[in-house]
Amino acid sequence: MSTEGDHSLVRWRRRKDARPQELLEAAFAVFVEKGFADARLDDIAAKAGVSKGTIYLYFDSKEAIFKDMIGRVADAKLELVSQLVEAHQGSFAALLRQLAGLMAAHIAQPPLVHFPRLIIGESRRFPELAAFYLESAISRARKVLMRIVERGQEAGEFRPIPPRHVAHLFISPLLFVPIYKTVFEPHEPEAFDLAGHVSAHLDIFLRGICFQEPPQ
């Protein structure tokens, strides 16, 4: 038979388990508002409604917070990509089309939409953050894309273009999306046409790497 004390203990444990994610969400809001350089642990604590000492129970610096944030998001998104690749049957061009739609949908929404701008803006003062983002997110995505391109070339579907270059050409217009949305879209009279951008990118890209007319 449970008691009020038991329920309180369970709620405390759940709250303790959820605390790192709450701190990450608060930190993310502060980073977006102030930039990484100007953000302080005091700001993050105030946003989260905790003491500064509470942050040190989970993270030893704002750099550690930022890296943990990037790592969690990258792991979750790349897991979705891996599942899509594993489950796919059919042409490799069709697989790239699916991946472009998935990546564009995620990268146009928080928190991913803010990461490129933050990384670019802080890369000179905090090069280790740029290196971490490259290693934990971009390089891992590039590796998956290069393998798809290699398999498509082995199957005779794609032209023999260096897979690393093909992967970069695939990713670049998608990385343009968060930069444009966070920097320039606020000054545009119309919202950014994400679907049109992705469609045009795929039309040009797939016609360039495929031997034959790519599937729609």
* Residue pLDDT, tens place only, 106-155: 889 888 898 888 899 889 999 999 999 999 999 999 999 999 999 999 99
CB 70 within 8 A of CB 130: no
- pLDDT interval class at 10 (50, 70, 90): very low
Long-range residue pairs from 10-19, CB within 8 A, at least 24 positions apart, any chain? 19/50, 19/54, 19/57, 19/58
Interval 60-66 mean pLDDT: 92
For residue range 149-186, what is the model confidence (pLDDT) as tens digits?
Answer: 999 999 999 999 999 999 999 999 999 999 999 999 99
CA dihedral 16, 111, 71, 101 (to 10 degrees): 130
Where do the domains of the chain lie, and which CATH numbers do they carry?
1-60 (1.10.10.60), 61-216 (1.10.357.10)
CB-based contacts of 167, cutoff 8 Å, min separation 6: 142, 145, 146, 149
* CB atoms closer than 10 angstroms to residue 216: 9
Choose among 151, 140, 149: nearest CA to 167.
149
CA distance 173 to 40: 33
Q: Which residue has the higher pLDDT, 6 or 96?
A: 96
pLDDT at 85: 87
Whose CA is closest to 61, among 169, 185, 108, 69?
Answer: 69
Q: What is the pLDDT of residue 149?
A: 95
* Mean pLDDT of the residues in the chain: 88
For residue 195, give both structure tokens.
Answer: 């679907």
Above 90 in pLDDT, residue 6? Answer: no
- Of residues 15 and 39, more confidence is placed in 39
d(CA 195, CA 181): 13
d(CA 130, CA 34): 18
pTM over 0.85? The answer is no
- Banded pLDDT at 14 (limits 50, 70, 90): very low
What is the percent of the chain where pLDDT is above 70? 90
Mean pLDDT for 100-104 is 91
